[in-house]
Amino acid sequence: MFPQRLDSPLAYGIAKALIDGFNRHYRLFRAESARAKHRFETADWAGQQRAQRERIEFYALRVAEAVARLEKEFRAGTQPMDVWQQVKLHYIGLLVDHHQPELAESFFNSVTIKILHRAYFQNDFIFVRPAISTEYIEPQGAPTYRAYYPRDGSLAGSVMQLVNGFGLIVPFADLAGDAQQVAQAVLGALGPVRLRANFQLQVLSGLFFRNKGAYVVGRVLNGFTELPFALPILHGADGRLVIDAALFGEDELQMLFSFARAYFMVDMEVPSAWVRFLRALMPHKPRAELYSALGLAKQGKTLFYRDFLSHLNYSSDRFRIAPGIPGMVMLVFDLPSFPYVFKVIKDFYPPPKDTTREQVKRKYQLVKQHDRVGRMADTLEYSEVGFPLDRFEPALVDELQRFAPSQVEIGDRDGNGEMELVIRHVYIERRMIPLNILLAECLEQIAQPESPAAAERAQQQLTQAVVEYGHAIKDMVAANIFPGDMLWKNFGLTRGGKVVFYDYDEIEYLTDCQFRRVPPPRCEEDELSGEPWYSVGPRDVFPETFEPFLLANDHVRAAFMAHHADLLDAAFWQRHKERILAGHMLDVFPYDERRRFSRAQRGESDADDVAGMPADADPAPASNARAAAATTP
Ligand SMILES: Nc1ncnc2c1ncn2[C@@H]1O[C@H](COP(=O)(O)OP(=O)(O)OP(=O)(O)O)[C@@H](O)[C@H]1O
């Protein structure tokens, strides 16, 4: 029903109030992101993390403000359908020449859905897909990216020029030396090729800030070759800046932009242009995840949902109970053809679980806001999601109705004759291979190998997984997180070979836990008793008791003890707790330690590694946490 005329002044007023609400949101979001540069320059690490955390809430606050204004000034919820149709058309008009139209459309949806009754929000009223193109939007301020052409073979000169272009006020310890290392690395990464007439470096015009790092992101062009790169800039031991490494290629950039890390702070005028540039560097990363990585998580959610609906249209498989050991708190299901899992909080939990829906949500929120250090998966949270009922395996429907009846409604919600299964609240996250499944497969292969080579491969894979698991825990320790439940089934292996944690209901701040040794038994009965003979407080943790649960298998045990025996020692945990309480903040690098430029120069030693061993001694990628030269006051 397309309105024939735009004749409602009220509709225009509502549309204008909506766009004003969005513009205010983006102004505040951008200003907060832009301030990251100053926080980096002044080494205000606590401030940077606080801002990263607080910025996540901006969107919901601005949506609530806009809803309140529309209700108060326009009684928006009582307006008839034809007024709302006109609101949307006026809004589209206001978006012509806008620099963030895709975000503004999502904002419109967020506000409108809150105001209109559910039966009402048919697709006519919201932006089911974009109405305004984001192609060729040119910023008024700084261009989205800049190009540098190395003249007379001076690649290092161009690197210096582009770094200076960011106007950081803190001096570099040795920019010329760093630029030389970058230039060599670039030529090494390009390989033995002739430099072509179009040889150039293109870099996004703003730095990417997160925690203690600032990253230059761009690509090298030479002939038909395009090589993505990123340069992490850090504060060195003496407070002057250093380029810490040069990262190349899609995989290394994907690690930097991983869904298991906190969102970046970037000052962007035309975010769609940044996403387009980044997508060219990482074609396998969905646009939804790029928007999220840039802090525009709501847009990430919107795009994810559109991708999901489109995937449903182009697939025919059925949702099923996720493989692995069923959760006690979460009911987890997936669609085999789609690389995500869906998690619903159950209505009741068997002992020893002692939690509530609200507590579980709080833990998930804690992880969302915390620095996830590449080891905790990001979750997208949705309410009232409708799935086509005929795509569900009956066993899954039964399971949902049995364990989460309050969360499920079956019916024809929008009256189109198709039955839907509506889930009230669901978390969605990347699907990984649960470690218990991976280890079981390796052990099976080791016990009954198809060939000696297969057995060796399985043994290697098992060792890597176990070593990576320990590193994952140590990276979380560095970020003040105690996972709570460290069983293998709560960790998964990602596409990139990283081990990531995903079961958050028992997560705690390390600094809130009391790490204790088990006191010696007082008598023989103590020793023989299955029950603890010592008092256990609610936050007491006895690391040596992890052993029987984790290390029942000899192969697993051997790999674990060779690399991570310290995790079974209360002293390890207590030491890190004290370090954090003393205000020391560890760096957790989003790249392999071995990628760092010559470390000796910087006066840091491997002894500072949280893992306590030189990274290159490990067969698997190392824990990326190491003590920072700088500490937070
Ligand atoms: N991201 C994921 N990728 C693949 N499988 C997953 C993922 N998240 C959960 N699972 C599967 O679902 C199971 C239950 O998930 P989860 O551990 O989050 O639930 P839980 O109820 O919190 O578990 P617990 O009973 O240990 O508290 C896991 O053991 C695993 O098999």
Q: What atom in ligand 1 is closest to the CA of residue 329?
A: 21
Of 431, 457, 492, which one is at a domain's C-terminal end?
A: 431
Q: Pick from 489, 363, 515: which is nearest to 427 by CA? A: 363
Model pLDDT for residues 386-430, shown as the tens digit of each residue:
999 999 999 999 999 999 999 999 998 878 889 999 999 999 999
Q: Quote the pLDDT of residue 103.
A: 98
| Closest Cα to atom 8 of ligand 1 | 502
Of all residues in the chain, what percent carry a pLDDT higher than 90? 76
Q: What atom in ligand 1 is closest to the CA of residue 490?
A: 17
Say whether both 189 and 202 belong to one domain: yes
Quick one: DSSP state of residue 600?
G
Average pLDDT over residues 52-60: 94
334 lines ligand 1 (CB under 6 A): no
Number of domains composing the chain: 4
Say whether both 443 and 392 belong to one domain: no
Substitution candidate for ligand 1 out of 330, 342, 361, 504 with most atoms within 8 A of CB: 330
Model pLDDT for residues 525-560, shown as the tens digit of each residue:
877 777 777 888 888 999 999 999 899 999 999 999
502 lines ligand 1 (CB under 6 A): yes
330 lines ligand 1 (CB under 6 A): yes
Say whether both 507 and 613 belong to one domain: yes
Residues 350, 364: Cα–Cα separation, whole Å: 20
Q: What atom in ligand 1 is closest to the CA of residue 503?
A: 18
- 371, 378, 587, 609: the catalytic one is 378
Residue partners of 462: CB distance under 8 A and separation at least 6 = 439, 442, 443, 446, 555, 556, 559
Residue 51 lies in a domain: yes
Say whether both 239 and 155 belong to one domain: yes
Residue 131 lies in a domain: no
Q: Quote the pLDDT of residue 155.
A: 95
Write a three-state SS string for 435-465: HHHHHHHHHHHHHCCCCHHHHHHHHHHHHHH
Q: How far is the CA of 330 from the centre of ligand 1 (A)?
A: 7
Judged against a pLDDT cut of 60, whether residue 106 lies above it is answered with: yes
Question: Greater confidence, 122 or 429?
Answer: 429
**Annotated binding residues for ATP:** 322-328, 343
Task: Tell me the two tokens of residue 514.
Answer: 């009391």
Residue partners of 266: CB distance under 8 A and separation at least 6 = 33, 36, 204, 206, 207, 208, 209, 274, 294, 295
Q: How far is the CA of 257 from the centre of ligand 1 (A)?
A: 24
Average pLDDT over residues 562-581: 96
Boundaries of domain holding 336: 315-431
Q: Quote the pLDDT of residue 625.
A: 57
Substitution candidate for ligand 1 out of 320, 321, 325, 332 with most atoms within 8 A of CB: 332
Say whether both 277 and 328 belong to one domain: no
Quick check: helix, strand or coil at residue 231?
Answer: strand
Q: How far is the CA of 326 from the centre of ligand 1 (A)?
A: 7
Q: Quote the pLDDT of residue 620.
A: 39
492 lines ligand 1 (CB under 6 A): yes
Q: Quote the pLDDT of residue 120.
A: 52
Residue 17 lies in a domain: yes
Q: How far is the CA of 384 from the centre of ligand 1 (A)?
A: 22
Of all residues in the chain, what percent carry a pLDDT higher than 70? 93
Q: How far is the CA of 433 from the centre of ligand 1 (A)?
A: 10
Residue 127 lies in a domain: no
Say whether both 446 and 567 belong to one domain: yes
Residue 130 lies in a domain: no
User: Which range among 100-104, 189-193, 236-240, 348-352 has the greatest average pLDDT?
Assistant: 100-104
Per-residue pLDDT band at 118 (split at 50, 70, 90)? low
Q: Quote the pLDDT of residue 116.
A: 84
Model pLDDT for residues 144-194, shown as the tens digit of each residue:
999 999 977 799 999 999 999 999 999 999 999 999 999 999 999 999 888
Supply the pTM of this predicted model.
Answer: 0.90
Residue 2 lies in a domain: no
Q: Pick from 118, 22, 132: which is nearest to 66 by CA? A: 22
Please report the ipTM that was assigned to this predicted complex.
Answer: 0.93
Query: What is the four-CA torsion angle of 591, 513, 554, 459, rounded to 10 degrees?
Result: -10
148 within 8 A of 161, measured Cβ to Cβ: yes
Residues 262, 260: Cα–Cα separation, whole Å: 7
Q: Quote the pLDDT of residue 309.
A: 94
Give the amino acid at 86. Q
Say whether both 405 and 456 belong to one domain: no
Average pLDDT over residues 21-48: 96
Say whether both 466 and 410 belong to one domain: no
262 lines ligand 1 (CB under 6 A): no
Q: How far is the CA of 264 from the centre of ligand 1 (A)?
A: 27
Average pLDDT over residues 287-305: 96
Quick check: helix, strand or coil at residue 185?
Answer: helix
Give the amino acid at 455. A
Q: Quote the pLDDT of residue 630.
A: 31
Say whether both 356 and 214 belong to one domain: no
Residues 584, 629: Cα–Cα separation, whole Å: 10
Q: Which of 211-215, 249-253, 349-353, 387-391 has the lowest mean pLDDT?
A: 349-353
499 lines ligand 1 (CB under 6 A): no
| Closest Cα to atom 26 of ligand 1 | 327
Average pLDDT over residues 464-468: 97
Looking at 207-296, list the stretches that DSSP marks H as alpha helix, in order from N- to C-terminal side. Answer: 249-256, 271-281, 287-293
**Residue 216 bridge partners (DSSP):** 231
Q: How far is the CA of 341 from the centre of ligand 1 (A)?
A: 9
| Closest Cα to atom 20 of ligand 1 | 327
Say whether both 68 and 89 belong to one domain: yes
Q: Quote the pLDDT of residue 607.
A: 30
Residues 601, 606: Cα–Cα separation, whole Å: 13
Residues 58, 111: Cα–Cα separation, whole Å: 14
Say whether both 84 and 199 belong to one domain: no
If phi > 0 it is left, if psi is from -120 to 50 it is alpha, else beta; for residue 518 that is beta
Q: Quote the pLDDT of residue 126.
A: 83
Give the amino acid at 273. A
Question: Greater confidence, 86 or 607?
Answer: 86
Neighbours of 192 (CB within 10 A): 5
Q: Mean pLDDT across the chain, nearest whole number?
A: 90
Q: What atom in ligand 1 is closest to the CA of residue 360?
A: 22
Residue with tokens 């999601």: 385
Per-residue pLDDT band at 628 (split at 50, 70, 90)? very low
Of 381, 414, 431, which one is at a domain's C-terminal end?
A: 431
Per-residue pLDDT band at 369 (split at 50, 70, 90)? confident
Substitution candidate for ligand 1 out of 490, 495, 498, 499 with most atoms within 8 A of CB: 490
Average pLDDT over residues 431-456: 95
Say whether both 14 and 113 belong to one domain: yes
Would you call 347 a catalytic residue per the annotation? Answer: no
Model pLDDT for residues 260-274, shown as the tens digit of each residue:
898 999 999 999 999
Substitution candidate for ligand 1 out of 258, 432, 502, 508 with most atoms within 8 A of CB: 502
341 lines ligand 1 (CB under 6 A): yes
Q: Quote the pLDDT of residue 117.
A: 66
